Structure 1
């Protein structure tokens, strides 16, 4: 399973790069436009993904910055957000590369931001959630992009494995 999660971290980096490349073509107005996604705009959705990843990594490692809200706009400037996303993706990859398989069974205790009830889960299922969460919201950004007339981007896992991710076959 550890290798599987390492692949997802690499895929996550790859897919995020493509989404950010596509968002870089948006005007500032379109980037910030409320398009009806859960967090409204591409800007707010991309900020949410970074905020969520920082929250999870803080829970896993005890290190790093973690916002107190899931709707935090960490960076209004697109270039700064993009650089922070790239750094966070590298941080996730590096952290996973330092794990041992047995650590996936470690219990993680935390209190969700959205509800004040303590939760205890094994790391493995939480990691599955983290990567699924990324895919879910990247899909929303993809919908925003195509709603604004931008071309569809190929960010499916199989495209990653066939291109940059061949080492995961």
Structure 2
């Protein structure tokens, strides 16, 4: 199973991919940003807010701090200009969390309540893996939505990130 250096790299990849996606979304008009589109959260506005809310929910569980959100479909930042700095701050929080996480803690269990209030027990290692998978899943949906605009979506392939991050062989 994944170790801490892997999760740390995923945190940096997440920040990189979000910066690229948000740079593209910054080119959209407010109407295009909020326009209905095919997806589980049916607009770029709703999808990107959901990713942020989901990240905050999971990080509150990991850090064992009070949860500020009550629903996964909350729209805390309807305006892109407010969402973007919130996303950047959350990405830094994620990087910091992975950089400061005690490696021994990965082998512990995470006890938390899901959004329905039901008690859950999940190995922390698997919860963190889900956390990064959830981001990629919905970021892919946002990428597809962006394809339906006049803009060309940026590449979010991890290999592109790795080529930038890793020294040439």
- C-alpha contact (below 8 Å) 2:46/2:75 kept by paired residues: yes
SS of 1:108's equivalent in the other structure is strand
Q: Supply the distance in 2 between the matched residues of 1:12 and 1:64 (Cα, whole angstroms).
A: 24
Task: Give, in angstroms, the shift of residue 63 of structure 1.
Answer: 3.1
SS of 2:68's equivalent in the other structure is coil
1:125 aligned to 2:126?
yes
Matching residue of 2:147: 146
Aligned with residue 100 of structure 2, among 92, 98, 101: 98
- The Cα offsets for residues 86-123 of structure 1, whole Å up to 9 and x where unpaired, read as 0010011111111121111111111211x443210111
1:110 aligned to 2:112?
yes
Q: Supply the distance in 1 between the matched residues of 2:135 and 2:66 (Cα, whole angstroms).
A: 19
- C-alpha contact (below 8 Å) 2:21/2:153 kept by paired residues: no
- Give ranges in structure 1 of 5+ residues lacking alignment: none
Matching residue of 1:137: 138
Spell out structure 1 runs of 4+ moving beyond 3 A.
none
- Give ranges in structure 2 of 5+ residues lacking alignment: none
Task: Give, in angstroms, the shift of residue 77 of structure 1.
Answer: 1.8
- C-alpha contact (below 8 Å) 1:51/1:66 kept by paired residues: no
1:45 aligned to 2:34?
no
Matching residue of 1:24: 26
SS of 2:110's equivalent in the other structure is strand
- TM-score, normalising length: structure 1: 0.93
- TM-score, normalising length: structure 2: 0.93
| Paired residue total | 166
- C-alpha contact (below 8 Å) 2:24/2:153 kept by paired residues: no
RMSD after superposition: 1.5
What is the 5 A alignment of 1:63-74? 63=65, 66-74=68-76
- C-alpha contact (below 8 Å) 1:14/1:160 kept by paired residues: yes
